[in-house]
Structure 1
Amino acid sequence: MAEKSVPERGAAGPLVGLVFVSHSADIAAGLVTLARQMAPTVTLVAAGGTDDGGIGTSFDKIAAGLAEADAGRGVVLLCDLGSAILTAETALDFLDDEARQRARLADAPLVEGGVAAAVAAEIGGDLAAVVAAAESAGGGSAEPEPVEAPAGGVAQPVSRTVILRNRDGLHARPAADFVKLASGFDAEVTVNGKDAHSLLGIMSLGLTRGMSVEISGPDERSRAAVDALADLIETGFGEE
């Protein structure tokens, strides 16, 4: 059976689940542990290694993982090597039509894509959004769309600059908290030029304690988000 980590279900209902397929049981299980730090309520399933515990992949583990991770909103699979993809595709082919429509194989790196997908699922993203988050791990963030100026005036950017106080910098857990908060606002916001909704983009900044962090938005519609995110950084994310 696939190794499973299943959280309690909250009032908001089920989330998109994830299955991590690796040739190594230890790698798949370790990724579940890592992603759990940022996605505590997502169903994460480790489908690593062969049935007898060796190096390789198992059709039965992947098939069981698909069934266990799908609570109704779908499941996304991420794989490490080419033969893992072939085994995963075979498992998908054996699903019934309804279940197959709710399952996607992401073309993404296992670790980076898995972490990004877990955060997207945690904040309630649908199947397409979780796949897109995973696959964004292979490239840079998109350029922000131009903001239309209000009638009779020019859009005025808003920004705040704060100092990062966390001893260990903006590492994975606080970065995930930051992205979750940003996703609660329907507003375009950047962090030192990176999209505030992109976990990997923010982590790529390498922000450490004492560094300046500029939270910016294109106009007044972003002010509430800018202030909330700047306030979160100033609190130290509860890690001080």
Structure 2
Amino acid sequence: MLLDQEKARMPETMPAVENYMKIGTMRKRLTHDEEACNKLRQQLHNLKTKITQDKRKIKRYERGESGGGEEKKREFKRKCGVEDCRGFLSSQWKCGLCATFTCPHCFEVLGKEKNCGHVCDPNNVESANMIKKETRNCPACATPIFKIEGCDQMWCTQCHIAFSWKSGMRVNGVIHNPHFYQWQREGGGNAPVQTPGAQVCGGLPGAWQFRRQLNRIISGDPYQSTTLSQLVMGLHSGKDFYNLFHKLFN
């Protein structure tokens, strides 16, 4: 009798059974949706991070920096040889502006493909080797600068900066290269103000620098009196004054 009564009530429990099954299905779907949501949150976080990094890079590029501390400073070999191109060749000998390759051995323009079956002309290789040996690239514009004579300081006539022949580093101090003074005399733009007492390379100093150096030599080395006497005699006679002067002060 009791069993029959319970069987008769079975239809009443069906909604509860259906709800229980729905709960199980919804829990599975909820777990799946939460996992998808977590993935989307991670993607959003990554996207925001990338946007922030790109904004910082843009700021660095606007300040003239090459890309920040996370990457090595790029090295440029020389100016691009393509006509009317104002780009520079990277360490891979590829122009960063027109994406054209150049042969590192003969300086011939190869084109868009590096491996194009190019064969160097021996004469061009010889000329390229001479340029590599007898020139230094300007650290600012990569223009090859020849050194004919004189001291270590070089002057780029293209971008108007001074740099060291030995180190290749830009000179931020006193500029004494004669080409710089020539550029100033010809009305060169915003030339930097020189330090008092700056002396043109290979030239004669002003009276103040001459007196200071003379007192230093006399007080420090009394045996220089012979050379000083020769200098005075050369000044009166006009003979070998220039050579005697540089013997005394160099």
Tell me if TM exceeds 0.5. no
Computing the radius of gyration over CA atoms, which structure comes out larger, 1 or 2?
2
Q: TM-score range by the shorter chain?
A: under 0.3
User: TM-score scaled to structure 2, two decimals?
Assistant: 0.23
User: TM-score scaled to structure 1, two decimals?
Assistant: 0.24
Higher RCO structure, 1 or 2 (CA under 8 Å, sep 6+) = 1
